[in-house]
A and B are shown apart, each in its own frame.
Chain A
Amino acid sequence: MPNYGFVIDLKMCIGCHACTIACKAEHDIPVGVNRCWVKTVEKGRFPDAQRLFLPVLCNQCEDAPCMNICPTSALFRRRDGIVDLHPDACIGCKACMAACPYDQLFIDPNTRTAEKCNFCANRIENQLEPACVSVCPTECRIFGDLDDPTTKVAQIVQREAFTVRKPEKGTGPKVFYLGADDSIIQPEVAARPFTFREGKVHLRPLGGREPDPESPGEPRVDYDVPHKKAWGMDLVLYLLTKGISTGALFLGAILWLMGDQSALSGFAAPLVSCIFAALTAGVLVMDLERPERFYYILTRPNWKSWMARGAFILTAHGAIAGLWLLAWWLGVPGLITLCAWLTLPVALAATGYTGLLFAQGLARDLWQGPHATIDLVAQAAAEGSAALLLAALFTDVDPWVLRSLGWTLAGATTLHLSILVTENLLAPSPTLHHELAVRAIREGAYRQLFWVGALGLGGLAPLVLFAIAVASGFSMIALVPMALVTLVGSFAWEYIWVEAGQCVPIS
């Protein structure tokens, strides 16, 4: 079978946007979204200033992050190597948008499903070149079978020095550029202005570098299409509600197994967990562009996708919490004990899988690395203990339980705080993308929320209140505010995590 790819000779591209429009016409693409476009960068000092053009389209990666993360296998690979999409199977979860390092997926506002370039598979099957190739006045785009040594693309890739977008992502892109300058092919390099040469900058990525008036001639983006980020407040709420649900049940299970057979561990923990598990499911469904298709994730799961895996883990977690609640109601302590034992691995998995899901969001360097999973566990422990401490207001609790919850919260917060400090203030960034995201957190758009919300309310304040609690013999007067600020601080960090992760330009 063929293996299709593109060569784009940037020396020949004149930045006329004919490809962009031909693509729009071929696929009747709505306003505001694009399958392909031409980014423009200006760099250099007069009279040696240059303008650079970069036509971009889907790379049809050999190891396609969008396919890996797609929970319903709506994205699939054709036998000719093209990554195509079944809109009928798409639930609009936007995970593919979070996964694609090249910014090539979007939600089509007409169908409310994901869309992407498929090298015009509909034309290819008619033996026609893709629309962007057929239209190009200077024939700078060359299309063909990379595995057939007689084709022009194969020959160029064999013989000439080419560049691909983000080779470090290891995705095996199949669009090869001739004559690409770093300042245009690496999206983080050029500054992002607030006005383009021919119009408004729409949806500017907050973490992009601003042009520095003191250094004219540094690379600056002249034109780019607007890019919507994949995830927003729904995912922030998801992180919070899920952390409370899994943390509360996990700690409830520990307490129960340690001998606390009170209503706090026996009833409040599964109740809180159930309520927040339901909220978690609710926000996740709400976040879908096609919420009515939410069950596809269970009926046609892609087992490679942490979103699909997570759905099953979350379902199991919710089921255990429900069973536990039922056991309490029926008064069967043995069943509760069984639930508690089951909870330990399942709640841990339900907490931690999110780290792996975000790491499958390969577009975003901030989300990569194991610390995220550890931090999620720490946050869930803090959020769960905070929730149980608040629940303790309504029920009689042994002092050792309060002490345990207090110490857990303090310990978890200390771990979370250490991770935040290490990752955002101490450790060097592995990539420029990561550095820009961290810079946005530390000194950019998210700095107030980070310093006051995440570090202050979510880190230092609980520890100070914990010290007061210890001094006051674990008085609820200190424990309740400690729990409350923890939840507020967690929320702040989870917001930053989702938003700052997506604030760096990736195309």
Chain B
Amino acid sequence: MAEFRSHPPVSDWDNYVDFESTSWPKKDRRNYWIIPTICFNCESGCGVIAYVDKDTLDVRKIEGNPHHPGSRGRTCAKGVVTPNQIEDPDRILYPLKRVGKRGGGEWARVTWDEVLEDIGGRIRKAILEDRRREVMYHVGRPGEDGYMNRVLQAWGLDSHNSHTNVCSSSARLGHFLWTGADRPSPDYAHAETILLLSSHLESGHYFNPHAQRIMEGKSRGAKLIVMDPRLSNTSAKADVWMPTNPGTESAVLLAIAKHLIDNGQYNREFVRRWVNWDVYLKACRPELPVTFEAFEDALKQEYEIFTPEYAEIESGVPAHKVVEAAEAIAAAGTAFSTHSWRAAAAGHLWGWQITRCVYFLVVLMGAVGEKGGVNLNDTNKFVPKHPNPPPPPEYWNELLFPKEFPLAFFEMSFLLPHFLKEKRGKLDVYFTRVYNPVWTNPDGFSWMEMLEDESQIGLHVALTPIWSETAWFADYILPMGLGTERHDTMSQETHAGRWLGFRQPVKRVALEKRGTSVTHTHEANPGEVWEESEFWIALSWKIDPDGSMGIRKFFESPYRPGEQVTMDEYYGWMFENSVPGLPEAAKNEGLTPLEYMRKYGAFKVDDKAYSKAHEQPAADGVDVEGRALTGFNTPSKKLEFFSPTLAEWGWPEHAIPKYVPGHVYWRDLDRSSDEFDLLPNFRLPTLIHTRSPVKWLYEISHSNPLWMATGDAAKLGIATGDLVKVQTGIGFFVTRAWVTEGIRPGVVAMSHHLGRWRLDEDKGGSRNASSLVKITRSADGKYEMRQVHGSQPFASNDPDSARVWWTEVGVHQNLTFPVQPDPVSGMHCWHQRVRLEKAGVDDAYGDVMVDTVKSHELYLEWMAKTRPAPGPDGTRRPRWFARPLKPVPAAYNLKT
């Protein structure tokens, strides 16, 4: 019997004959081009292949790309639904301009020429009048590496704003302080023990590639330890589930560390060679000799209180489980993998300390860059150089990195409405790009207020494939391509190896294969949907039509001087010039590098990258026992157990990994008045933040009831399905309860994804996935939202629209959250201290009330926790700290 293949072989991709399944068992043959691209539905960058019908040019289906080293031919549910997105009846296919007042809901179709003229002229004027700060690009899901940064640099702007501070800043800072790399790259597949603080088997950071490898490791016998107050699908697969009291994770982690130290189970040699223990001793224990033995004793004293019993009292996790986890880690040696991303780190004040405590275990085991251990993103992610790099911006944008947050790991994006309220600046042109802050960010009504105010935001341009709550408050909605409708390059540190993925507009590629010449992707895309790479080029030429501003030259062809660069030229240049091994691999097949990437969609740069890059000799390296070695990207080039940066920038008490309970600490909750810790930031394997309102996904997951422990629900007289009123610091929302044994008592949880809404019956949101709401505002800044109806069946070209059977599509909880910026990392601390009560007769499902005056007060309270710049050298930010767009060194100096 012949073997079955998981995918058609690449030799068949240009002429694949498939049986049409819908007319089966008739043998109805269809001819396809199979064209690889990259999924655009989360950050993983999984490779997919599109079956493009040779007759109709429709994308029949999407599967995984077997030639993609990260995703290895597999995808998750979200990738497969791309055709749903392409054919979404509520998709925006033409550029729209608002008519009437902003947010009024009246739109007119405009031409792309008008769009480019208007926006280009406005940006040109802002740059010429030196109002550069008034242009801002705000990105949700980037889905590409480096292209947009280069555009902004070419414009000379420090204008890159991101979503990262509502996502992963605390996780990043925790890793970065140790290693100078902000993301770990665990080699799960070969680990002996895996410790997860995020639910990587259902979401996490690189769900599909990571889930594959975690389960691969588990099937080889790895022990899986999961720390999560909630029975996530990941917890459900754990050998040891540790449902901690939220925010007490570090107590458990340090107890594990203490167990490893006390029992001599740690990698003494590695710690001695690579940890900056001498700096610690000098700073914290000047009375001791600077010897490793003294450090070991000091370490024991430092973490003396963290017995398993103490960890149990703090976290609620039984002491024996803590010991079991510690023993499993000890047994793993250097084959110890771990990850901490959005969950606990994103949830709590000082969440970055949780990540530091996780990484402390990696360091103790010496599992850095080892097989089965944890690599660094900068050794496993491959970002090729783009052509003709522009110089860095020459100024510092305080709306992005205000001086209160010198160590903020990313831009203070979610505070923007409050900054504008305080008149720290205003914006003339504001791009939101696949970014939906009104819905995703905390305190969405303040965002709405800001966007509605034309004196604060001159022009709001929403670049999005679909409607969103934020796009409703735009002046232009510009439809941008999905994963099958655009060019990008992408790479992620998915495993011990490096790869480059190439996203391409599959219909355009198909047309070109058919011999039709295509000059721009929008000619091939549905309606007048553009791809962003071409949009930014066209816009840049409008900003600087004659090249006199020095901008146009960055958008000219590297091959045809003075001509506008094409996609083939731009990406062709990258593949020819900055991907090691690619030109040779292409040549072996008789292809150009671009042809190779169009054919395979991905290139494996290297494999089995157990880099131990730090151990490589380097002339300017760090001296380790008389040898100059590369070391790490920290100032000391060592692993910084003691962070001089934190000590010098105002946080000496946080200089070493430390347990500090978060802002919602179980001991502080007033149980007698029904106070709970709300965990609002968990994700589902079936949904994407705001881009997944499609039928096949919503059919599975369409509502986000409040998880409540059995005893808690009983005490409040609440049963599954009952309405509960959840009071936060600035308002309340009303949702349904889902009573479960799968959550720590005292904690309630709600999925982050659901509760989408729209303000108009027929537009403004996907009708199968949003509720129609009414928002009323009182003069004193109080907002009330009430659902008119949930999703309903409707008529469209897709007969499935009339088959929508789900009604309630969740409750929008984020509106009721005040901004809670961590004073160090700048991360929004997602957990909420809430008071629960059974809903009253006047409460309805989906009700939301928010007081934006109160939200500004709470903003000020959190701002008071900050310790502003300047740092020790009079700068705004440590120079070694990463930034998406680093300005020139002079811009770091804070004028006093």
Contact = CB atoms under 8 A, between A and B. Distances in A.
Contact of B742 (A51, A137, A200): A51
Interface in B712-770: 714, 719-721, 736, 738-745, 751
Contacts of B7: 128, 134
B110 interface: no
B270 interface: no
A145 B3 CA distance: 10
Nearest to A147: B1
A223 to B, nearest CB: 7
B742 A42 contact: yes
Given A12-B215, A49-B741, A21 B805 contact: no
Contacts of A131: 63
A143 B4 CA distance: 9
Interface stretch (B272-280, B495-503, B606-614, B699-707): B699-707
A50 B236 contact: yes
A18 B3 CA distance: 23
Contacts of A371: none
Contacts of A46: 243, 709-710, 741-745
B800 A31 contact: yes
B738 A195 contact: yes
Interface string B803-827: 1111110000000000000000000
A135 B738 contact: no
B699 A44 contact: no
Interface string A1-36: 010000000011011111011101111101110000
B233 A30 contact: no
B807 A200 contact: yes
B641 interface: no
B64 A134 contact: yes
Contacts of A198: 684, 686, 700-704, 751
B741 A44 contact: yes
B25 A202 contact: no
A126 interface: yes
Contacts of B639: none
A216 B699 CA distance: 28
Contacts of B701: 198-199
Contacts of B807: 200
Contact of B736 (A128, A195, A217): A195
Interface in A132-169: 133-140, 143-145, 148, 150-151
B547 interface: no
B803 A148 contact: no
A122 interface: yes
A193 B736 CA distance: 14
A86 to B, nearest CB: 6
A411 to B, nearest CB: 48
A129 interface: yes
A216 B61 contact: no
A47 B684 contact: no
Contacts of B163: none
Contact of B77 (A16, A122, A139, A197): A16
A195 B803 contact: no
A3 to B, nearest CB: 10
Interface in B680-704: 684-686, 695-697, 699-704
A412 B243 CA distance: 64
B1 A24 contact: no
B1 A2 contact: yes
Interface string B56-88: 000001111000000001111100110100000
A14 B4 contact: no
Contacts of A53: 233
Interface residues of A, number: 74
Contacts of A121: 24-25
Interface string B666-687: 0000000000000000001110
A25 B202 contact: no
B368 interface: no
Contact of B5 (A32, A129, A138, A150): A129
A134 B73 contact: yes
B201 interface: yes
Contacts of A145: 1
B803 A31 contact: yes
A134 B6 contact: yes
Nearest to B12: A126
Contact of A26 (B21, B699, B709): B21
A202 B806 contact: yes
Nearest to A17: B77
Nearest to A110: B799
Nearest to B233: A15
B741 A32 contact: no
B251 interface: no
A125 interface: yes
Contact of B714 (A15, A51, A137, A213): A213
Contacts of B236: 15, 50-52
A21 B1 contact: no
Nearest to A140: B215
Contacts of B80: 18, 21-22, 24-25, 135
Nearest to B20: A122
Given A16-B202, A44-B741, A199-B806, A126 B19 contact: yes
B212 interface: yes
A138 B317 CA distance: 29
B720 A211 contact: yes
Given A124-B4, A128-B7, A216 B710 contact: yes
A2 B808 CA distance: 47
B231 interface: yes
B22 A27 contact: yes
3 A-B pairs with the lowest CB-CB distances in the bound complex, closest first: A51-B236, A198-B701, A138-B215
Given A25-B81, A110-B799, 17 more contacts: A12-B218, A16-B201, A16-B202, A17-B686, A20-B700, A21-B80, A25-B80, A46-B741, A46-B744, A122-B24, A128-B5, A131-B63, A134-B73, A138-B216, A194-B721, A199-B701, A216-B741
Interface of A: 2, 11-12, 14-18, 20-22, 24-28, 30-32, 42, 44-47, 49-53, 84-86, 109-110, 118, 120-129, 131, 133-140, 143-145, 148, 150-151, 193-195, 197-200, 202, 211, 213, 216-217, 223, 226
24 contacts: A12-B218, A14-B233, A14-B237, A16-B233, A20-B700, A21-B77, A26-B21, A49-B741, A86-B25, A122-B21, A122-B24, A127-B5, A134-B63, A135-B74, A135-B80, A138-B212, A139-B74, A197-B705, A198-B751, A199-B700, A200-B806, A213-B739, A217-B741, A223-B700
